[in-house]
């Protein structure tokens, strides 16, 4: 298995301790430990069924979409996770006789290994890239792993885990003439979102890795519109300590006083109109295809450079 490392485990561990000390945990730590991966898999399983049709439809169109690429199709997946969705496309392209090379990009070593191993099981050449996609430099380095034309993926609501206004620009900057980007979002349901037990377990998992117990505090989920764009909503999650805590994180002892808050990862949700504007008006892409999920809760867009 080949994995190129731009972000080391030592750097992640150090940043994890710094983030707990700063009371602000970025998205990548929610997929870092085996416990987090397990919690995420349970959460992701819920949306897999609704997205089955979307991915079958994309797989059926994949060979045609990438016809101008010629024989070779590099697939670069930002925040690839376990690569389960990506594999539907990879298999379809390989089945159509194309030379597919898969580049899953992720900060999670465990998920990256799973994505690479899955592709290799299907006899598809894979090179994993362990990188931090919140860094514009890492996004460029990962994209440059192959020359255009390339098929970029950023799916599973990966975009919603970052500031989407910044992140989509960093990704769109890498999309050159001839490239294709497939990106999706969870649509805002129009009423406040109630967290499920799986979501609560998922957001708590990094705290548990730092030694926090469920009765050490409360989880608070809040949703608010983001004033920068009509139809863009931010779902924030916080932990509020209900007693004084002493945590041991990567060798650092960190005290959290009763009543203190730790910001957990957030999620952005959009209306369909706001998501279209983000991709086109804001990021300078052109949408050439849109696929709604079976339950209408997720929108997947196929984009090219405008």
By the criterion CB under 6 A, which residues form the site for ligand SAM?
27-28, 31, 44, 79-81, 85, 106-108, 111, 131-134, 155-158, 161
Instruction: Find the shortest distance in angstroms from Cβ 170 to ligand SAM.
Output: 11
Instruction: Find the shortest distance in angstroms from Cβ 289 to ligand SAM.
Output: 18
Pairing relationship of beta strands 252-256 and 245-249 according to DSSP bridges: antiparallel
Nearest to 73 by CA among 183, 222, 182, 204: 182
> Which residue, 241 or 300, is less far from ligand SAM as judged by CB?
300
Instruction: Find the shortest distance in angstroms from Cβ 184 to ligand SAM.
Output: 8
> Which residue, 106 or 216, is less far from ligand SAM as judged by CB?
106
In contact, 48 and 123? CB cutoff 8 Å: no
> Which residue, 108 or 185, is less far from ligand SAM as judged by CB?
108
In contact, 168 and 283? CB cutoff 8 Å: yes
> Which residue, 130 or 238, is less far from ligand SAM as judged by CB?
130
Q: Would you call 183 exposed, middle or buried from its count of C-beta atoms within 10 A (0-12, 13-18, 19+)?
A: buried
> Which residue, 79 or 164, is less far from ligand SAM as judged by CB?
79
Instruction: Find the shortest distance in angstroms from Cβ 66 to ligand SAM.
Output: 19
Complete DSSP assignment for 114-135:
HHHHHHHHTT-EE-EEE--TTS
> Which residue, 111 or 291, is less far from ligand SAM as judged by CB?
111
Instruction: Find the shortest distance in angstroms from Cβ 162 to ligand SAM.
Output: 7
Instruction: Find the shortest distance in angstroms from Cβ 156 to ligand SAM.
Output: 2
N-terminal to C-terminal alpha carbon distance within the chain: 36
- Tell me which H or E stretch contains 207: helix 197-209
Is residue 149 reached through a cis peptide bond, with omega within 30 degrees of 0 on the bond before it?
A: yes
Rounded to whole angstroms, how far apart are CA atoms 46 and 48? 6
Rounded to whole angstroms, how far apart are CA atoms 147 and 130? 19
Nearest to 40 by CA among 51, 24, 28: 28
Instruction: Find the shortest distance in angstroms from Cβ 41 to ligand SAM.
Output: 9
> Which residue, 31 or 239, is less far from ligand SAM as judged by CB?
31
* Contacting residues for 197 by C-beta, under 8 A, at least 6 apart: none
Instruction: Find the shortest distance in angstroms from Cβ 103 to ligand SAM.
Output: 13
In contact, 165 and 136? CB cutoff 8 Å: no
Shortest-Cβ-distance residue relative to ligand SAM? 156
Rounded to whole angstroms, how far apart are CA atoms 284 and 288? 13
Q: Which single residue is written with the structure tokens 């959009």? A: 270
């Amino acid at each position: 298995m080949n994995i190129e490392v731009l972000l080391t485990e030592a750097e992640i561990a150090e940043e994890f301790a710094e983030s707990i000390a700063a009371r602000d945990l970025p998205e990548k730590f929610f997929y870092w430990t085996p416990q987090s991966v397990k919690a995420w898999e349970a959460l992701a399983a819920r949306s897999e069924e609704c997205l089955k049709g979307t991915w079958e439809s994309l797989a059926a169109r994949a060979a045609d979409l990438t016809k101008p690429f010629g024989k070779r199709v590099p697939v670069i997946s930002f925040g690839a996770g376990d690569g389960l969705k990506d594999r539907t496309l990879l298999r379809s392209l390989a089945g159509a006789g194309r030379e597919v090379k898969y580049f899953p990009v992720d900060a999670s070593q465990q998920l990256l290994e799973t994505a690479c191993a899955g592709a290799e099981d299907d006899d598809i050449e894979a090179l994993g890239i362990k990188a931090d996609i919140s860094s514009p430099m890492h996004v460029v380095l990962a994209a440059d792993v192959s020359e255009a034309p390339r098929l970029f993926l950023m799916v599973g609501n990966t975009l919603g885990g970052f500031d989407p206004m910044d992140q989509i620009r960093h990704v769109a900057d890498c999309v050159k003439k001839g490239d294709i980007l497939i990106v999706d979002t969870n649509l805002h349901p129009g009423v406040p979102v109630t967290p499920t037990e799986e979501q609560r377990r998922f957001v708590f998992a990094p705290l548990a890795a730092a030694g926090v117990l469920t009765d050490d505090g409360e989880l608070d989920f809040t949703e608010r519109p983001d004033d920068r764009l009509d139809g863009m909503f931010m779902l924030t999650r916080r932990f509020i300590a209900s007693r004084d805590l002493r945590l041991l994180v990567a060798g650092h002892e960190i005290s959290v006083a009763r009543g203190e808050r730790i910001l957990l990862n957030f999620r952005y949700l959009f209306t369909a109109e706001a998501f279209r504007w983000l991709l086109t008006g804001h990021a300078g892409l052109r949408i050439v295809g849109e696929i709604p999920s079976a339950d209408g809760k997720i929108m997947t867009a196929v984009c090219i450079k405008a």
